[in-house]
Copies of this chain bind each other. A is one copy, B any other.
Amino acid sequence: MAISLAELATRLSARLVLAPSSLAEAPLSGVAPLEDAGPSQVSFFSNARYKAALLATRAGAVIVGEDDAGLVPATAARLVCAQPYVAFAKASAIFHPEVRPAAGVRAGAIVDATAQIDATAAILAGAIVGARAVIGAGTVLHPSACVLDDARVGAGCTLHAGAIVRERCVLGDRVILQPNCVVGSDGFGFAFDLEGDGDGPLHRKIPQAGIARIDDDVELGANTCVDRATLGETVIGRGVKVDNLVQIAHNVQVGPLSLLVAQSGVSGSTTLGAGVILAGQVGVVGHLKIGDGARVGAQSGVSRELAAGAPVRGAPAIAHREWLRMSAALPKVPELIKELRRLEKRVAELEKKGT
């Protein structure tokens, strides 16, 4: 895959500013980070933190915003645009076009006779499709991916190896499930029954009779779990991206465009607004409402409702700024205790004198 500077500029809707040494028709061979890129590669700059790398780059071209265009070394052409990181994503997609397997049900796939598989879908060897399940146009099931009875998968989806969509669950279009991701596992619902069935107390299972619904353009990470609802639906909204090893409990609603980073977890019946960000290893307790655009810092524990846009951190989570001050202060507490003791002595001394 080679493409000229000029063509790349066109496809990115970027303004091309050639370097003295560069030719608009020079073929580019790929994308690379600033520090690795060579003269035939295109890189990008969108974070002031990497300014030194920009100044030293050997890249043949750099995607850059208007304000930073002047920083690009004279050896590199500039592809000037409004959203450099987005343009980089597009450029990388041009150089790494997704390879989708040819349509068809392969030998070694196990497809129930009552399943409806679109003729343009690809069901690879070892993939499994259950009774009455529906697979949309262009969707790919990789080896050992399972879509169980009565589940529906939309168009243009990719279910990687070992991904499982349990009974009756619904995936929209262009959904991506990374390997061993689970959609529609039973929620964790039990009623403690003191009487039991004659053999002492037990945890009586509450049927998890609902489903999980994954809207369009969602991606779920490897080994991530989305539980089905007790009744009704667990919903992952349009364009949500979920990292690996994330737990999403029964009846959770995740608003569109939210981001859930690795190993975070959301307890049952909690609702996340649109564009919420949970950083890594965050936990959110159940039955909460988290406002649109709330941002929760890594390893935080959220046990109260969060207002829209609130950046919070810590466990229990507090305003991010307050958390920064607090966590800088806490290691001083042992010394603080000593200081207080010393001061108390001085006050006692003064009191003695005063009497």
Q: Judge whether A336 and B339 touch: CB under 8 Å.
A: no
Given contacts A83-B193, A179-B182, A203-B257, contact A128 B110 (CB under 8 A): no
Q: Judge whether B191 and A257 touch: CB under 8 Å.
A: no
Q: Judge whether B249 and A262 touch: CB under 8 Å.
A: yes
Instruction: Report the copy number of this chain in the oligomer.
Output: 3
Q: Judge whether A128 and B128 touch: CB under 8 Å.
A: no
- CB-contacts of A152-182 with B (<8 A): 160-162, 164, 166, 176, 178-180, 182
Residue of B83, B108, B222, B351 near A194 (CB, 8 A) is B83
Residues of B within 8 A of A259 (CB): 190, 203
A242 to chain B, nearest CB (A): 9
Residues of B within 8 A of A330 (CB): 326, 330, 333
Residues of B within 8 A of A201 (CB): 257
Q: Judge whether A85 and B179 touch: CB under 8 Å.
A: no
Residues of B within 8 A of A160 (CB): 164, 166, 185
Q: Judge whether A202 and B257 touch: CB under 8 Å.
A: yes
Q: Given A128-B161, A162-B180, A205-B219, 10 more contacts at CB 8 Å?
A: A83-B191, A88-B191, A92-B206, A144-B144, A146-B161, A179-B185, A203-B241, A281-B283, A329-B337, A350-B351
Interface set of A (CB-CB < 8 Å, partner B): 31-33, 36, 82-83, 85-86, 88-90, 92-93, 95-96, 98, 108, 110, 112, 125-126, 128, 130, 142-144, 146, 148, 160-162, 164, 166, 176, 178-180, 182, 185-186, 188, 190-195, 201-207, 209, 217, 219, 221-225, 227, 230-232, 239, 241, 243-245, 247, 249, 257, 259, 261-263, 265, 267, 280-281, 283, 285, 298-299, 301, 303, 315-316, 318, 322-323, 325-334, 336-337, 339-340, 343-344, 346-347, 350-351, 353-354
